[in-house]
Amino acid sequence: MTWFYAFDLFGVAVFAITGALMAGRKSMDLFGVLVIAIITALGGGTLRDVILGHHPVSWIRNDVYILVATLAAIGTVLWVRLTRPINETGLLVADAFGLAVFTVIGTQVALSHEVPVSAAVIMGVMTGVAGGVMRDIICNEIPLIFHKEIYATACIVGSLAYIALSQLTLREDIAAGLCITIVLAIRLAAIRWHLALPRFHLLDRNDRAQ
């Protein structure tokens, strides 16, 4: 699936850009920018492969992944230095697309290990979101995806859809394309109308006492 590989690299680049921007917000040096970009782009897939025992990890097998993430990080710094504004809406849409592709890849890899459905969904979601969670933890923020608009929920639906479609005799690339569309549609709708899951507020006993 050549077009799928291109989508994968596009997702790596977009996630690396969001990592580099976060590192910039924390005034990191160029090494920090590079590390955060690479972790954001490849951390989710690495965690998935390590937990599945799927060796070698993708970026160790093929150094194009590291190259793309590195170029995206350098490009981001240059772009911002040249004081071009960042197209925030464009970035959100690109991020939604990367999320959709990574979710499908994660689910595929998990299914190739013949895991139960619950584990396959977790691997799909993990591939999509864990890189961003690592980025936020290293940058000392509570991960964004645990309290903003619907994000991981789109991955859960997409991953379940892929698992269902993979039971049929559908061609693999058609199933992948359908699921990417589903994740993308849910995520873009969530951005457009600020859809969010309900929150769970629990007061500390200390808070209550005041």
Contact 187, 99 (CB under 8 A): yes
Q: How far is the CB of 30 from a second copy (least distance, A)?
A: 5
Q: Assess 171 for contact with a second copy (CB under 8 A).
A: no
Q: Find, among 28, 115, 24, 118, the residue nearest to 76 by Cα.
A: 24
- Give kind and range of the element (H or E) at residue 32: helix 30-52
Q: Assess 170 for contact with a second copy (CB under 8 A).
A: no
Q: What is the spatial distance between Cα 164 and Cα 86, in angstroms, rounded to a whole number?
A: 38
Q: What is the spatial distance between Cα 82 and Cα 76, in angstroms, rounded to a whole number?
A: 10
Q: Assess 167 for contact with a second copy (CB under 8 A).
A: no
Q: Report in angstroms the alpha-carbon separations of 64 from 10, 59, 122.
A: 12, 7, 26
Q: Assess 173 for contact with a second copy (CB under 8 A).
A: no
Q: Assess 35 for contact with a second copy (CB under 8 A).
A: yes
Q: Assess 202 for contact with a second copy (CB under 8 A).
A: yes
Nearer to a second copy, 82 or 204 (CB): 204
Q: How far is the CB of 170 from a second copy (least distance, A)?
A: 24
Q: How far is the CB of 59 from a second copy (least distance, A)?
A: 7
Q: How far is the CB of 173 from a second copy (least distance, A)?
A: 26
